[in-house]
């Protein structure tokens, strides 16, 4: 039963860190591409 309690309190911190890095990378790439499009005048 002690093992079940530790499973209930498990926090996937490594997974959350990787997910945060992935999302930040996507946002940075999107912003950089958007800025390039603005500079070239490709937006509608």
Q: Domain coordinates of the chain in residue numbers?
A: 13-44
For residue 20, give both structure tokens: 């945060």
The average confidence (pLDDT) of the chain is 84
Model confidence pLDDT, tens digit, residues 6-43: 556 788 899 999 999 999 999 999 999 999 988 888 65
* 14 backbone dihedrals φ, ψ, rounded to 5°: -65, -40
Per-residue confidence (pLDDT) for residue 43, from 0 to 100: 56
pLDDT level of residue 1 (50, 70, 90 thresholds): very low
Are 43 and 37 in contact, with CB atoms under 8 Å apart? yes
pTM: 0.63
């Amino acid at each position: 039963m002690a093992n079940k309690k530790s499973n209930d309190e498990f926090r996937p911190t490594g997974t959350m860190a990787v997910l945060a890095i992935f999302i930040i990378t996507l946002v940075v790439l999107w912003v950089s591409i958007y800025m390039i499009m603005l500079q070239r005048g490709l937006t509608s």
